[in-house]
A and B are shown apart, each in its own frame.
Chain A
Amino acid sequence: MLFLISWRNLWRYPARSFLIMGSVVLGVWAGLFTNAIYFGMGESRKTIAIRHEVSHIQVHHRKFQDDKEAQFSLSVDSLEQAFRAYPEIAAYSLRTVGSAMVANASGSRGITLNGIDPAREQATRPLKDFLVAGDYLDTALAHRVYLSTRLAERMNLEVGNKVVLTMLDTANNIVAGAFRICGLFKSANAPFDEQNAYLLKHELDALLGTTGRAHEAAMMLQDEQAIGKVCAGLNASLPDALAEDWTVISPETALVLQSLDQFAIVFILIILLALAFGIVNTMLMAVLERSREIRMLQAIGMNRTRLFFMVLFETVFLTIAGLLPGLLLAWLSVAWMGRTGLDLSRVAGDLMRSFGYGAVIYPYLPARTVVQTVVLVFITALLSAIFPALRAIKLRQNPPA
């Protein structure tokens, strides 16, 4: 009957109870929905990083990543032979990579040149899909370079302009070539775009002296779960090579994802802390308004423990009554927006791109976040109940007539 009394006590002052429940509903919904947006952003960043930038795994010569010197390359044949042993690899592309200067009459900038096979590159870095002006690289057309719109803006370049690309070859000699801009691209990661330019692999190999070799192999797997196994296998079968997964190649992305869980908890805690003050205030008011009734209950034989739990149950019910609708509202809004997407392109598209996030966010909530929220709400309810419950049991026992 304690449950019954506690539950019915909530409805003695419906307006006040609805106010607190409403605040719990809004708090839970706002916390979960905001976290869903952040998880969606995290997922967007991860997807962009893997599908547009670094792929699941990259393989380099063990010394290449230190200074990206052209001499540290791997045999194309040995790489392809090693990859054949892994059906988990869905697609791969081989790149010649070098640090270079791009120069025109306006100035010069340091970039990373990527010599690619245009068709195979689509599987690991869909550059053709990012085309905004001109044409993608074509093996039939020589001395073409594919730049980002951001780099073009910085250097006052257009499609059809010529640039000079200068770099060091395998013997550390300065080599250069003149290339015409065939097309401009724009992906979801503006800084990454600005840093990278693309040309045909065999033309870059000719400049650097790396024919038959590659500096970088990027691969996409059928299933992410196989990353560890494939990395370990390639490291064992290619002694000169170092296979690394995307969390190593793009540690900032991995850090963002790791911090999301902690951020979600902290955010919910802040909201619940604010709610707790309201709950404590409301329950304290309820106890003090019913001090005569509470003293009567003690008079007729209700001990302090039962009294404590009566107030505790009331507080928990008040909070839970707001939790369930809050969870439902969060689930509905996340489910709906998870399908339609939150389109930020008009208000913050460029800002999102500058950090490597897509402009359309698809919020989603991991189950663990929902469970954490439920647990935290329960804890908040229990802690909020303590002070009013203690106040109740400290009331003097003799009731007024």
Chain B
Amino acid sequence: MVIDAHNISKIYQPDTVPVYAVNNVHLHIEKGEFTALVGPSGSGKTTLLNIIGGLDQPTSGQVLINGTDLSTLSPNALIDFRLHNIGFVFQSYNLLPVLSAGENIEFIMLLQKIPASERATRVRELLQAVGLEDKKDARPAQLSGGQQQRVAVARALASKPQIILADEPTANLDGQSAANLLDIMEKLNREAHITFLFSTHDKRVIDRARRVITLVDGSVASDTAAVRTE
């Protein structure tokens, strides 16, 4: 088991008019899953994803990633845990604009203190994996949205994580770019057994997910495998 979330709740303004962003959610994600968290805006998808990734603290409940309880980690230990175990892909790519595509990917490995020769090889491999080997020296401003998101995926993979959390990764992409991106992610899921957990309301992603968890008003409304339309 990779992700184990028990009784997760996130309550805003608990002393006045409490707002339940996430309401008593239980979640078990196995290794190698390709799972989508779906629901309307305000259903708590992003909040739950942030809690699972350690970017936010639940009001109550517990999140274990490979047996490690995130609530027991200090702030620096949590950052270090994320660095080595979790990759993030954001809706707005969030690449460092002052670094090239290659440098954005290399940056993660520098944080992990990986030697220079290994970094160079891995950057090349990751850019090849996302089909951008000729864009190594391009700055984000010189790349299309789809290309930037592929660099973001490569960056997320740089730390060799077991889990990739992707928050609306296709929201700013056109159809072809979104399809290319999902192809890459599916391939990585299949070949490297990386667990993917998406927060999305993009049908293109939902159609590709093998498991769909629906949130409504912060609670799990349904949890079922998606039937892919051929």
Binding site for B on A (CB under 8 A): 1, 4-5, 8-9, 11-12, 292-293, 296-306, 397-401
Contacts and interface: CB of A to CB of B under 8 A. Distances in A.
Interface in B94-127: 94, 96-99, 103, 106-108, 110-112
Contacts of B111: 300-302, 306
A397 B167 CA distance: 15
Contacts of B168: 401
B177 interface: no
Contacts of A306: 111
Nearest to B139: A8
B214 interface: no
B83 A300 contact: yes
B159 interface: yes
A302 B78 CA distance: 11
A300 B155 contact: yes
Contacts of A300: 82-83, 87-88, 108, 111, 155-156
A11 B99 CA distance: 12
B83 A301 contact: yes
Contact of B90 (A298, A301, A305, A399): A399
Contacts of A400: 92
A393 to B, nearest CB: 9
Given A1-B99, A397-B56, 9 more contacts: A4-B99, A299-B88, A300-B155, A303-B76, A305-B76, A397-B54, A401-B91, A401-B167, A401-B171
B75 interface: yes
Contacts of B84: 301
A300 B93 CA distance: 12
A5 B106 CA distance: 13
B43 to A, nearest CB: 14
Interface in B28-71: 46, 50, 53-56
B73 interface: no
Given A9-B98, A302-B79, A401 B55 contact: no
B80 interface: yes
B46 A401 contact: yes
B94 A398 contact: no
B90 A398 contact: no
B96 A5 contact: yes
Contact of A12 (B54, B55, B82, B97): B97
Interface of B: 46, 50, 53-56, 75-76, 79-80, 82-84, 87-88, 90-92, 94, 96-99, 103, 106-108, 110-112, 155-156, 159, 167-168, 171
Which of A9, A400, A401 lies at the interface centre, i.e. has the most chain B CB atoms within 10 A of its CB? A401
Contacts of A4: 98-99, 103
6 contacts: A1-B110, A292-B94, A300-B111, A301-B80, A301-B108, A399-B55
Given A301-B111, A306-B111, A398-B55, A293 B96 contact: yes
- Listed from nearest, the 7 A-B pairs whose CB atoms lie closest are A301-B83, A8-B98, A398-B55, A401-B91, A296-B94, A398-B50, A303-B79
Contacts of A399: 55, 90, 94
B50 to A, nearest CB: 5
A1 B103 CA distance: 9
A305 B50 CA distance: 22
A1 B75 contact: no
A127 B53 CA distance: 88
B177 to A, nearest CB: 17
A296 B76 contact: no
Contacts of B76: 303-305
Nearest to A398: B55
B168 to A, nearest CB: 6
A293 B79 contact: no
A297 B84 CA distance: 14
Contacts of A1: 99, 103, 106-107, 110
Contact of B92 (A298, A301, A397, A401): A401
A321 to B, nearest CB: 16
Nearest to A12: B98
A304 B50 contact: no
B108 to A, nearest CB: 6
